[in-house]
């Protein structure tokens, strides 16, 4: 299983300078939640670790689906857009190779806290960002 101490700087380097585009462009912030259970994260345990607001809607999704628009390249895209899509593809690859059992949790409805979480030795690690959808 990946080591927690090395996962955080790896995720930080991979996401440096990237912002998830929505109605707000939010950076990614790495995090680590210690947990000795060794179990794959479920929604109930996620709520405890993330300290989510009571009764906040939580949606889970696959990482590839979450990043689908960020990695898409279309005819006519500028060099910058193509390069940015490649950076996101590299980020997804880094997340998948650094964390095990990766899941994406979206918390909220308009201002949505997004947690990209996977298992590492001693707990869970990942990246957090914000998406605004009105």
Q: What is the CATH number of the domain that holds 51?
A: 3.40.1460.10
Owner of token pair 């300290």:
51
The sheet carrying 123-132 orders its strands as 29-34, 123-132, 111-120, 100-107, 58-61
> Which is nearest to 113 in space by CA: 45, 5, 31, 40?
31
Backbone angles phi, psi at 86, to 5 degrees: -65, -40
Q: How many CB atoms lie within 10 A of CB 35?
A: 16
Looking at residue 3, its pLDDT comes to 56
Tokens read off for 89: 């593809």
Residues 6+ apart with CB under 8 A from 97: none
Looking at residue 5, its pLDDT comes to 64
Q: Measuring CA to CA, how many Å separate 93 from each of 87, 97, 129, 134?
A: 10, 6, 18, 30
What's the whole-number mean pLDDT along residues 63-69? 96
Looking at residue 1, its pLDDT comes to 58
Between 6 and 29, name the one with better pLDDT. 29
Domain span at residue 77 reads: 4-132
What's the whole-number mean pLDDT along residues 30-48? 89
Owner of token pair 């949606």:
59
pLDDT tens track for 85-132? 999 999 999 999 999 999 999 999 999 999 999 999 889 999 999 999
Between 78 and 38, name the one with better pLDDT. 78
Number of domains in the chain: 1
Longest dimension (CA), the chain: 49
Looking at residue 39, its pLDDT comes to 81
Q: What is the mean pLDDT of the chain?
A: 92
Using the 8-state DSSP alphabet, how is residue 120 labeled? Answer: E
């Amino acid at each position: 299983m990946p080591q927690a101490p090395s996962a955080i700087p790896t995720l930080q380097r991979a996401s440096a300078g990237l912002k998830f585009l929505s109605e707000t462009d939010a950076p990614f912030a790495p995090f680590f939640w210690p947990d000795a259970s060794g179990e794959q994260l479920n929604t109930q345990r996620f709520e405890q670790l993330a300290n989510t607001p009571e009764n906040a809607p939580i949606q889970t999704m696959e990482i590839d689906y979450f990043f689908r628009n960020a990695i898409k390249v279309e005819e006519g895209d500028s060099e910058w857009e193509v390069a940015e899509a490649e950076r996101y593809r590299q980020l997804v690859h880094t997340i998948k190779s650094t964390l095990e059992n990766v899941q994406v949790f979206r918390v909220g409805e308009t201002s949505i806290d997004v947690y990209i979480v996977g298992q590492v030795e001693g707990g869970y690690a990942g990246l957090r960002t914000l998406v605004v959808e009105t």
